[in-house]
Amino acid sequence: MAAEDVNNLREAVSRYRTVDDRIRDLNRQVYPLREQRKITELEIVDILRQPQFATVTKLDIREDGSSIKIKKPQMWKSAWSLSKGEMRTLITQYFASTNAPTAEECYRFITETHDRTLVRDTFSIERVVPDVE
């Protein structure tokens, strides 16, 4: 190993540590803000449950042109995620339900069956910020 290579490695590791420390510090600062945002989100949802807001699906924020998209119970799905265990269960269910299995039918069974489990029964809100370039 050349001394120059060792020095380059040490410098690179030092820069990596510096950046990683900054990221860790920022994450410590962001955590309480996320908690505060969640509490405020719950406040907004409590207000949106009132009958006079039943048809509201979007709240525009004039100050910055952003908006809050309102996802109502039974009207949205969580992100598609399927564990290996869930995949095994669905494949087993599919093969138990047919005498003539095909790859396409197995795929359709899995996606349709799992898709039904993704429908959420809670409110969710999401702020949409326009791209500013």
Which amino acid appears at position 38 of this protein? K
pLDDT value of residue 131 = 83
Contact 90, 109 (CB under 8 A): yes
Say how far apart CA 37 and CA 43 lie, in whole Å. 10
pLDDT value of residue 83 = 95
The answer to whether the pTM exceeds 0.75 is no
Domain ranges of the chain: 1-48
Half-sphere exposure of 90 (CA within 13 A, CB side): 19
Structure tokens at 73: 């119970």
- Residue 63 phi, psi (nearest 5): -55, -35
Residue with tokens 């399927």: 82
The stretches in the chain having pLDDT less than 50 are none
Say how far apart CA 92 and CA 109 lie, in whole Å. 11
Say how far apart CA 15 and CA 23 lie, in whole Å. 12
Within the chain, residue ranges assigned H as helices are 3-48, 84-96, 103-117
pLDDT value of residue 45 = 95
Give the model confidence (pLDDT) of 75-96 as tens digits. Answer: 999 999 999 999 999 999 999 9
Give the angle 5-10-15 at the CA atoms, nearest 5°. 125
